[in-house]
Amino acid sequence: MGGEPIVIAAIGAVASNGMLGLAGWLPWDIPEELAYFEATVAGAALLVGRLTYESMAQVPEDCFVLSRRGELTLRPGSHRVDSVEQGLAAALATGKPVFVIGGASVYAAAWPYCQRFYLTRIDMPFAGDTVFPESIPLADWRVLSEERKLLVERQSGCPVGCRFVVYEQQAPRHPGQGVCILPAA
């Protein structure tokens, strides 16, 4: 009885010094890591912050873009949402798996709703201007799987160890919970 349990997941990558972004893009160029991201989110509905969205060369159908700017111009198949809860509800309504793809401000607001976090831990520090939110209590989440790979950072040509970790949160919040619906005036 009952429907399928909803699964909302987040996905991202973080350097050993906590950096995840630089000048509106990634601090590193690791093609295999990017390919892992693309393969994992293929066919999913995405929740994404406006700055990350604007940095994306291509966006799939069913991209829900968080922004408080009412006049935002988006690409076909993309929709503006003005809260994490509204964005997740709309993404779930597509019937597709749902991935929260960042950036930092969106991870910080959306993690309570995520059952899984696909986090690539890059075992090297990088210069950056955007930090992975320390408020996400991943240390309390269960590690479902972890795979280590030695990859190459293309700008430097250096080998870099990457750990592809999948975390699970036991009791994520439902996006409908805690949302106050005001009566019509």
Ligand X SMILES: NC(=O)c1ccc[n+]([C@@H]2O[C@H](COP(=O)([O-])OP(=O)(O)OC[C@H]3O[C@@H](n4cnc5c(N)ncnc54)[C@H](OP(=O)(O)O)[C@@H]3O)[C@@H](O)[C@H]2O)c1
Kindly report the backbone phi and psi dihedral angles of residue 149, in degrees, each rounded to the nearest multiple of 5, phi listed first.
-140, 150
- Which of 4/71 has CB closer to ligand X? 71
- Which of 17/67 has CB closer to ligand X? 67
Q: In the bound complex, which residue of the shown chain has the CB atom lying closest to ligand X?
A: 103
Q: Measured between alpha carbons, how far is 60 from 45 in angstroms, rounded to an integer?
A: 8
Q: Which residues bind ligand X (CB under 6 A)?
A: 12-13, 20-22, 24-26, 49-52, 55, 66-69, 82-84, 101-106, 109, 130
- Which of 95/120 has CB closer to ligand X? 120
Considering only CA atoms, which of 40, 61, 31, 6 is closest in space to residue 119?
Answer: 40
| Distance in Å, CB of 115 to ligand X, minimum | 18
| Distance in Å, CB of 122 to ligand X, minimum | 9
- Which of 49/97 has CB closer to ligand X? 49
| Distance in Å, CB of 127 to ligand X, minimum | 12
| Distance in Å, CB of 13 to ligand X, minimum | 4
| Distance in Å, CB of 74 to ligand X, minimum | 11
Considering only CA atoms, which of 105, 10, 21, 98 is closest in space to residue 56?
Answer: 21
- Which of 11/92 has CB closer to ligand X? 11
